[in-house]
Amino acid sequence: MKKLVILALAAASLRADSYFLTVAGLGGEDQYEQRFTGWASDLTKLLKAEPGAKVDTLSGKDSTKANIEAKLRALATQTKADDSFVLVLIGHGTYDDLDYKFNLPGPDISATELAALLDKIPAKQVVVNATSSSGGSLSTLQKPKRVVITATKAGGEKNATVFTRFFIEALRDPVADTDKNQAISVLEAFRYAEEKTGKYFEAQKRLATEHAVIEDLGKGEGVKAPSAENGEGLIAGRQVLLHLGSVASIVNDPEKQKLLKQKDELETQIDELKYRKAAVPQREYQTQMRQLLLELAKVQEGLDK
């Protein structure tokens, strides 16, 4: 059973390519310059351990608007619909009640400009805006099936954030793998970082100046606690950021690709059915779930041979 769970999320990596772009923006002061570039470097090292991942980073003088635009335009032609793309923004942001801007050396880039570039990329997308005032970008960046995480719940939370620190820590700490499937999903990383950020302010005996939220329905406000009740988190829970342990070698086995793809599709159907449980008659729900689990067991038999 444990192997069944472990293999399920590995399938996504077999079907498609994974792309990552981390941007560390303008620090303004030495302490922030070092912090932002250091975080970007740490995240890059962790992501490069993911089998087959295509990892790119812009920091320091290279994190310009022109370079970001060039990278995103290239991804629009390089990626396909089954691929995944994760964009992580680290640094300072501003919000003027109209539009959010990510602070960069030279001209800043706005949420409106980012959204226009992201809309041209066919890959499944995750945007982690870990900057100050990042909540001001949510309504502009959100889109159906795009996961958007912001370190603040509103544009008015202007203090430098610590969310990035704990988001990166989630990729190092086995505790973040709450379902013990040897993979850290976007949802698991968010929950870990959100909880750790809250505890950080409690330990400092300070009023929290940031409140991270996640949104993957493409509408409405972000939430602190995604669940089946509010409908948020389904897509984020299926998107793997990093595989751990033996899964890293499993995803490189070409002989398992076809069966793992079937497993991934069945797991997705099971998750979607769980989210619709309240709207489905109990007997019908049980019948559908039983059939999906039987099909999943048959696929697992093939994998175990």
pLDDT at residue 230, as a whole number: 92
pLDDT at residue 255, as a whole number: 63
pLDDT at residue 68, as a whole number: 98
Tell me how far apart the alpha carbons of residues 217 and 228 are, in angstroms, rounded to a whole number: 12
> Interhelix angle for 282-304 vs 257-275, to 10°?
160
Of the chain, the percentage scoring pLDDT greater than 70 comes to 87
Among the listed ranges 41-50, 74-83, 171-180, 262-271, which one has the minimum average pLDDT value? 262-271
Residues 258-268: pLDDT tens digits? Answer: 776 776 677 66
Main-chain phi, psi angles of 124, to 5 degrees: -65, 140
Strands 183-185 and 100-102: unpaired
Give the C-alpha distances (Å, rounded to integers) separating 186 from 176, 283, 285.
10, 33, 27
Confidence of residue 287 (pLDDT cuts 50, 70, 90): very high
Say whether pLDDT at 253 is over 70.
no
The amino acid that residue 284 corresponds to is: E
Among the listed ranges 69-78, 183-192, 196-205, which one has the minimum average pLDDT value? 196-205
> Interhelix angle for 30-47 vs 163-170, to 10°?
20
DSSP 16-44: S-EEEEEEE---SSHHHHHHHHHHHHHHH
Length of the chain, please? 305
Say whether pLDDT at 73 is over 50.
yes
Say whether pLDDT at 87 is over 60.
yes
Locus of tokens 């889109």: 143
The dihedral region occupied by 49, where left means phi > 0, alpha psi between -120 and 50, and beta the remainder, is alpha
pLDDT at residue 14, as a whole number: 47
Determine the average pLDDT of the residues in 122-132: 98
Residue burial 257-290, b: 16+ Cβ < 10 Å; e: rest: eebbbbbbebbbbbbeeebeeeeeeeeebeeebe
Strands 124-129 and 84-90: parallel
pLDDT at residue 268, as a whole number: 62
Integer Rg of the chain from CA = 19
Task: Note if the pTM is more than 0.75.
Answer: yes
Structure tokens at 88: 């992580």
Determine the average pLDDT of the residues in 187-195: 97
Say whether pLDDT at 247 is over 90.
no
Main-chain phi, psi angles of 184, to 5 degrees: -100, 115
**Cβ atoms within 10 Å, residue 221:** 13
DSSP conformational letter for 150: E
Q: Which is more confident, 269 or 208?
A: 208
Give the C-alpha distances (Å, rounded to integers) separating 172 from 49, 146, 185.
11, 25, 13
Give the C-alpha distances (Å, rounded to integers) separating 266 from 82, 125, 299.
16, 21, 9
Q: Which residues pair with 123 in a beta bridge?
A: none
Confidence of residue 300 (pLDDT cuts 50, 70, 90): low
